[in-house]
Every structure is written in C-alpha cells, then in structure tokens.
Amino acid sequence: MAEVGRLTALAHGGGCGCKLAPAMLQSLLEHTPMAAGFVDLLVGPETSDDAAVWRLNDEQALVASTDFFTPIVDDPFDFGRIAAANALSDIYAMGARPIFALAIVGMPVKELPAEIIRSILAGGAQVCAAAGIPIAGGHSIDSIEPIYGLVALGLVHPDRVLTNKGGRGGDRLILTKALGVGILSAAFRQGRLPPGAYGALVASTTQLNEVGARLSAASGVHAVTDVTGFGLLGHALEMCRGANLSAELFAAAPDLLEGVEALARVGVRTGAALRNWESSAAWVRLPADLPEWRRDLLTDPQTSGGLLIAADPGCCEAVLGQVRAAGFAASRIVGCLSPGPPEIRVTWA
C-alpha cells in the first residue's frame, strides 16, 4: 500500500497537466464526425469551447461539461476541492450558473484507505455547496491511479452564452488569476516548494470562477475562456482561431503566484509545458530576448486557472474593476486582439 496521504505518488502526473497535448488531441479528433445538424446545439466541439450548450427554450440553454484528473496535491480534501472548482470553471466560462453536478470517481481501492477516498469526495462536495449546487449522483470505478472530477451542468440565457469565438479586433485581453500552478505542482512533487507557496497554490485553484456568470450581462465582454491545461498561450490561440483574429500577449504582464518566478528561473517546469509549446510554436512569434523561463510561464498548465476575457477597449477598465471587486485581485490586462491570421505575437508590453 502507498504511503497514506501521498496521492501524487500514485499518479504519473497531476491536475490539468495530465491533459493530452493540443497537437495529439487535434490528431485524435481530426476524423471524428462533428455534431452538425442539430439546430438546438448552440455550441459543440468545433470551436474548442469549454462546454457544450443546448437550447432548451427561448429563455434557457443547458451548459454541460466534464472534467477530471489525477492528484495535484497529497491532501485528499484539497484534491477534491481543486478538482471540483476546476470542473465548475467550464460552466462559469460560458457565462452560465451551475445547477448540479455528478461525480466521476476512479480510485485504486487496494492502495487507498476508505477515509482518504471519503475525504476527496467531501472536498468536492464542499466546493459544490459553496457554488450553491448539489452533487446529485455519479459513477465510480476501481482504477490504477486516483481520478476525481465532475460532470457539471448549468443554465444561461441563449443570447448570453459566452464563447471563445466572439472576440473582436481591438479587444483587450484580461486574465483573472495569477500564473504558475504547473510550476508549483512540479516543485511540490520534487520537494522544492518554498514556504507559503502551498497556501497560494490551493487558494488559487479552489477559488471559484463564478464571476463568469456575471460577465454574460456585462457591457463590452465579447469572449471568455478559462485558462487550464494548455496554458495561457494555448488557450489564447484557441480564442484566436475561434474569432479568426491575431493576438498580442505581453510576456511580463500576468501576475505570478508566490514563489513561481524563482522556481521558473532555475528550470522547474512540467513536461506538459514543453508539450504545449511544441503544439503551438508554429503559430507563435517570440521576441529574440525572451528567456526560456518566461516562455515556460506562458505554456505552464493551469489547473483551475483564471478566465481569459476579451473586452471592448472602452469597457475594459470597468470589466477589470468588476472582476477585481469579485475577489480576483491578480487580474491583469495581458494582451489584445487584432485583425490578422490566427496566430500570437509575444511582446514585452
């Protein structure tokens, strides 16, 4: 039996760093039939959005998503909380409010004591209760690695769905959380996490992105996605492709979680950060003087990361003020959209 509490020792990776690389995912889906021909399917897989959206009637659309992963931390209660907050983020990113969730549970039952598994489930239930929803059921299996997550369902007005394809030329890009979750999780596994950084990691990854539900009615908000396993660069590129626009990202603009810069400077990173870069490099131009650790921050996989918001420049400061007032003090303007092919130019400012 594995050392009690060492959940990360039972998994090959953790959090959204376990996601398939964007290039591999694209290859796997390349010949998969798209969900065309359903008039009430408002959002399907074609634009790499955060959730599917189905029109129920003139006033309501159902938003549905699923997200699950292996442990990013050893504390089972924190693991459950992080996984649940991450799953609900997809609903908030579409401008919706969650209504209930179903649990996805895969556990190595011969390796983990029952009380550890119960604590994971309790953590997920606590976050869902904070979001005002129940976990109404789910499914469980005996698996080699610990896996936990949710099927999340929400509601939004059909005319207020936020997608990653609505951006317009001139829009400013706002990121609502600090970067560095992947770097901190890598340092955690290596036993190199500095004092105070664990608290910053958990506080960020368990903060619900519920402000997204309010952004659906905010003036000047044109597009939203959440920044997770593909990193800021990868999810910004999806926004560019959805809107058929170019983007400029300011390399030094995003806020960083406590301890991240020092760790990045000495080469702490995840394998997923490298896979993310290899998948997006052909569509990205970097400044010649950008150090590799700065690039790693842009491709660092974010578990339960922030929202990336495309907002009209005339409304940008008001939107920034709204998300900061909602508790996202790390919110920053990190770039802008412009006419051009779907690619990204990284600059210093």
Q: For 268-321, how does the pLDDT look when each residue is reduced to its tens digit (9 = 90+)?
A: 999 999 999 999 999 999 999 999 999 999 999 999 999 999 999 999 999 999
CA distance 167 to 311: 8
Q: Where are the domains of the chain?
A: 7-160, 172-347
Task: Convert the pLDDT of each residue in 100-141 to its tens digit.
Answer: 999 999 999 999 999 999 999 999 999 999 999 999 999 999
Looking at 16, 128, 240, 336, which residue is catalytic? Answer: 16
Give me 144's structure tokens.
């080699």
Identical fold, 7-160 and 172-347: no
CA triple 91-88-209, angle to 5 deg: 85
* Domain range 7-160, CATH architecture: 2-Layer Sandwich (3.30)
> Are 60 and 155 within 8 A, CB to CB?
yes
pLDDT at site 34: 63
- The whole-angstrom separation of Cα 129 and Cα 124 is 9
Which of 41, 45, 333, 18 has the alpha carbon at shortest distance from 186?
A: 18
Q: Burial of 240 by CB count in 10 Å (0-12 exposed, 13-18 middle, 19+ buried)? A: buried
Q: Which CATH class is domain 172-347?
A: alpha beta
Tell how strand 221-226 and strand 135-142 pair up: unpaired
At 30-66, the pLDDT tens digits run 666 666 679 999 998 887 888 999 999 999 999 999 9
Q: Give the per-residue pLDDT at 237.
A: 96
- Give me the pLDDT at residue 35, please: 61
The tally of CA atoms less than 13 A away on the side-chain side of residue 57 is 2
- Percentage of the chain beyond pLDDT 70 is 92
Residues 185-213 have pLDDT tens digits of 999 989 999 988 999 999 999 999 999 99
| 16 counts as catalytic | yes
Q: Which two tokens stand for residue 229?
A: 């396993």
